[in-house]
Amino acid sequence: MTRIRFQQSLEDLKENLLVMAGLAEQAIQRAIEAYRVRDLSICDLVSRSEIAINRLERDIDQSALDLLAMEQPMATDLRFILSVIKINADLERVGDAAKSISDRVRNMEQMAAAELPVDIPRMASLAADMVRKSLQAFIEADAEIARGVLTMDDAVDAMNRSAYKALTKVMEEQCHLAPQALNALMICRSLERVADHATNIAEDVIFWVQGADVRHHKNIAAPKDAQPMT
């Protein structure tokens, strides 16, 4: 096999992206945990890991740029590097979302506890699941797992919509709970964003593995055998 150095560079790029993915996933898990147990020290951990994530984002983009300029990658290699660049950006946003959630938790710490008609832990676990699965699809270069992630996005969107309705009703009928409801709404929005980023990552994996651009299509089937979405 020729181009050993190049192959090694691609492996290194993958490794670095997985490190970053680990940090982003951990940040989300921690943010959700912080919400569940109202622990401010966990919020601090999330803020600190944000710095590491940002640094990694810059490094990965730089490595990818170097590979594009120096190695003239083609076909699979080219698609891989392009996917890495895009997944990189999505992971950084996931990190941002985690920080946003932890900021909301900090905010809520200063308010009275309230019972709200939203199941944030369930939505959170769904979103985190999507992130985990999309990263698994990346690690295993498996387009089928990635397609699985795409179908999960609808559930999260539905939950976000119903949360919006429920929380708006709370704000209208129980004005004293408005700050808590608003915070909860913003947390739901962040979680919905996380799910969107996981979807993007899954689409990028499909692009890399199959060379098919499945973004913004309701029909998520493979290029040759069209299967309408149920």
Footprint of another protein on this chain (CB under 8 A)? 1-3, 6, 72-79, 211
Q: Shortest approach of another protein to residue 108 CB, angstroms?
A: 48
Q: Which is nearer to another protein, 3 or 36 (CB)?
A: 3
Residue showing tokens 């797992």: 145
Q: Which is nearer to another protein, 117 or 211 (CB)?
A: 211
Q: Which is nearer to another protein, 75 or 113 (CB)?
A: 75
Q: Shortest approach of another protein to residue 194 CB, angstroms?
A: 30
Q: Shortest approach of another protein to residue 212 CB, angstroms?
A: 8
Q: Which is nearer to another protein, 186 or 212 (CB)?
A: 212
Q: Shortest approach of another protein to residue 171 CB, angstroms?
A: 50
